[in-house]
Structure 1
Amino acid sequence: MKTDLLRRAQTFMTKAGIDAWVVCDFRGNNPALAPILGRRLHTTRRVILVVPASGQVALYVHAIEEGQFGEEGGAVHAYRTHEDLVAALRPHVRNQRLAIEYSPGGRLPAVSWVDAGTVDLLRALEPSAVESSADLLQAALAVWGASALAAHHEASVAVAAAKDAAFETIRANLAAGTALTEYDVQSLIGERLAEGGFETDHAAIVGTNAHSSDPHYAPVAASSSVIGSGDWVLIDLWARRPGDDNVFADITWVAAAAAPTAQQWQVFDTVRRARDLIVDRVHEAWRLGEPVQGWELDRLARDLITEAGYGERFLHRTGHSLSPGPAVHGLGANLDDVESRDTRVLLPGTGFTIEPGIYLADFGVRLEIDVYVDPDSGPIVTTPVQDDIVLLA
């Protein structure tokens, strides 16, 4: 197991008055388990890890899968029947204040993975309280190590270079009159990143005109648009060095294959100002020693965009966590007061994206950067910042 993660967890639990963190997994549905174990396993039965505020952890696995957990030594306890498992859990749970991966009322689904029946089971064992592990999860699992930060910087350079190569390829093909599709550009980005030794959990978003108004548009070979003169282009790409201790770099830029219209400039400027407002507030909060919750930053950006008349066209949260693990959307605080209200505080040693967007019928603008909160020096923007529309013609 990752002793550094457990140490952070137990330190947080002691300060917060949490007696036990009960990590419940079934068929790999709880993303908290693999980081603690330090590896991903294929299991088909319930796995429950009990992390006390002090002392040794206990890992309960089904007897037919015990062999997968040999590295955990004496922490592993095999059960055979449902009754065996319940009896083993009872002394860990009774009269204890528990943290588990659920969100009361479903208010924060980003950290709600334990099913209602398992919550019922734990409550039937008479704990003193059952509460969300959202803050604990972030403190234990979303913090970057030194190697993760270094790998993230490498990924930031790589995605920026791939973005530049994509725009230059579009520019060259437009000048030559050669047909080039969104899918072609997506493939180019993927090839460029793979050649550099980077990986991603999904192909890049490359959308022109109305397709750029779909925040999660994904071009396919059979139906993607040819990029033509006068088109608007949005590219969103992300990648990391292989390994679940590493962190993705994630950026979004926009470009125009003709002189941008007045409306395109207006929307771009509004999104740019919303992004920069968040950066300024993060730096200010660090300087003043003020804790900032994720939802507060989303609200700042959303209010600015609403005042500009585009509030209904800002379709998503302002940013997501970046943390070690297999997914670009991390386990820490999100900048969200629209899809949910993320009340988690942005912690030193963690990272996140800032990516406000406005999506109209014929074009969309999203400007995405990454931020790391250095524990010593404060917030650092780790990716290139777009301040002007890229011109392709």
Structure 2
Amino acid sequence: MSTTPAPFTAADYRARMARAAHLAAQAGLAGVLVAPGPDLVHLTGYRPTATTERLTVLVLREGRDPVLVVPTLEAPDAEQAPGAAALRLRDWTDGHDPYAVTAPLLTSGGRFGVSDNTWALHLLGLQHALPASSYVSLTEALPMLRAVKDAFELERLAAAGAAADAAYEEILKVPFAGRKETEVAADLAALLLRFGHSQVDFTVVGSGPNGANPHHEAGDRTISAGDMVVLDFGGLKHGYGSDTSRTVHVGEPSPAEQHIHDVVREAQQAGFAAVLPGVACQEVDRAAREIIDEAGYGDLFIHRTGHGIGVTTHEPPYMIEGEEQPLVPGMCFSVEPGIYLPGRFGVRIEDIVTVTDDGGRRLNNTDHAMAIVS
């Protein structure tokens, strides 16, 4: 029976913020500035109801209490955040300069890591208040900040993956032929919610030639017999993401279609088999890409092999050539090679994988074989 995981505590968030401040100091940073977004959710549990032009920023510096700067009208909500007891709030009111309120918390001339989704408006305001300060993105400065999950996070990611798997098993039972992509996408979204997702982030249904666009959004094309259909879907369950892809066929596939699917299936298995602690992220990409290159379709594999996942569905680490970050137990990421034939069809197979002490573990476990749908 599915159970709801125990909520993270203020102590959990306190430990995360302390770790972030320590990692920043190790990286030679004066501190970390975190705007609303996935980093703020991870570190404090606070998700503002609306992200506006009003400055909200978490200030983390090693050896100092964490401080969350918030607009006064949003302070009551911030006080109810799961991690609020682990930090101090400093509010500011409309008509006052929020950067003047924030500046004393920083060090003039210091170099700070800034969450990637910080508004330029706010970064420029801080630069004006502290002209000697400088800033670097957290993805560049602290790429491992959210990359390694603890046991409680892995529990949530596994539950999200299992729910996405259940949705896939059910979508195979619905009719495809004669229906629009948007109708099948709506079925997928309803199934994700039915199996416990609180939020649906995407439901890609790419039929026929639309499947050759990896980020095709479900459209008004009517699915027909003989179509290959790429399904890529996910969202959040218990605050953590799911993301899986399978490619199905309406009726029996041609030998050429089956061959392409077999190549992608082999590539996905090769990428998964490359997952080992200490191995560079790029080796996962290389392993999957080698299979597709050798089959003669290298130019048609047009994206990275994988991306990290956690409180959002795309985050570091990335499985791509040039990424030398070694894999660490607790990392979670997708392994999703694909082949895309413009004007014809596409094939993608994707699982979320976590690194273990001796290899990898799939968090998606549905059949990789090409399912036949009606």
TM-score of the superposed pair, with normalisation by structure 2: 0.80
Q: How far apart, in 2, do the equivalents of 1:200 and 1:14 lie?
A: 35
RMSD over aligned Cα, in angstroms? 3.2
Unaligned runs of 5+ in 1: 102-110
Q: How far apart, in 2, do the equivalents of 1:70 and 1:279 lie?
A: 43
| 1:156/1:391 CA distance change after superposition, 3 Å | same
The match for 2:3 is none
Give the number of the structure whose residues are more often helix, by fraction: 1
Q: How far apart, in 1, do the equivalents of 2:23 and 2:132 lie?
A: 23
The match for 1:159 is 164
Counterpart selection for 2:233 from 234, 237, 246:
237
Q: How far apart, in 2, do the equivalents of 1:307 and 1:43 lie?
A: 47
Q: Does 1:126 align with 2:136?
A: no
Q: How far apart, in 2, do the equivalents of 1:150 and 1:34 lie?
A: 17
Unaligned runs of 5+ in 2: 1-9
Q: Conserved in 2, the CA contact under 8 Å of 1:323 and 1:350?
A: no
How far is the alpha carbon of 1:134 from its aligned partner? 1.7
Counterpart selection for 1:256 from 231, 246, 249:
249
| 1:87/1:334 CA distance change after superposition, 3 Å | same
Q: Conserved in 1, the CA contact under 8 Å of 2:233 and 2:244?
A: yes
Q: Conserved in 1, the CA contact under 8 Å of 2:230 and 2:248?
A: yes
What residue identity is the alignment partner of 1:315?
I
| 1:4/1:91 CA distance change after superposition, 3 Å | closer
The match for 1:356 is 337
How far is the alpha carbon of 1:296 from its aligned partner? 4.7
Q: How far apart, in 2, do the equivalents of 1:254 and 1:121 lie?
A: 48
Q: How far apart, in 1, do the equivalents of 2:244 and 2:102 lie?
A: 47
Q: How far apart, in 2, do the equivalents of 1:113 and 1:346 lie?
A: 28
| 1:358/1:78 CA distance change after superposition, 3 Å | same
Q: Percent identity?
A: 24
Q: Conserved in 1, the CA contact under 8 Å of 2:112 and 2:135?
A: yes
Matches within 5 A, 1:32-47: 32-41=39-48, 42=50, 44=52, 45-47=54-56
| 1:135/1:350 CA distance change after superposition, 3 Å | farther
Q: Does 1:85 align with 2:90?
A: no
Q: How far apart, in 2, do the equivalents of 1:195 and 1:185 lie?
A: 15
The match for 1:318 is 305
Between 111-120 and 14-23, the greater mean CA deviation after superposition? 111-120
How far is the alpha carbon of 1:365 from its aligned partner? 0.4
Q: Conserved in 2, the CA contact under 8 Å of 1:139 and 1:347?
A: no
How far is the alpha carbon of 1:304 from its aligned partner? 4.1
How far is the alpha carbon of 1:16 from its aligned partner? 2.9
TM-score of the superposed pair, with normalisation by structure 1: 0.77
The match for 1:108 is none
Q: Conserved in 1, the CA contact under 8 Å of 2:24 and 2:142?
A: no
Q: How far apart, in 1, do the equivalents of 2:73 and 2:155 lie?
A: 40
How far is the alpha carbon of 1:120 from its aligned partner? 8.1
Q: How far apart, in 2, do the equivalents of 1:22 and 1:271 lie?
A: 41
Counterpart selection for 2:24 from 5, 8, 13:
13
Q: Conserved in 2, the CA contact under 8 Å of 1:21 and 1:52?
A: yes
Q: How far apart, in 2, do the equivalents of 1:21 and 1:280 lie?
A: 36
Q: Does 1:292 align with 2:288?
A: no
How far is the alpha carbon of 1:61 from its aligned partner? 3.1
| 1:136/1:208 CA distance change after superposition, 3 Å | same
Q: Conserved in 2, the CA contact under 8 Å of 1:18 and 1:97?
A: yes
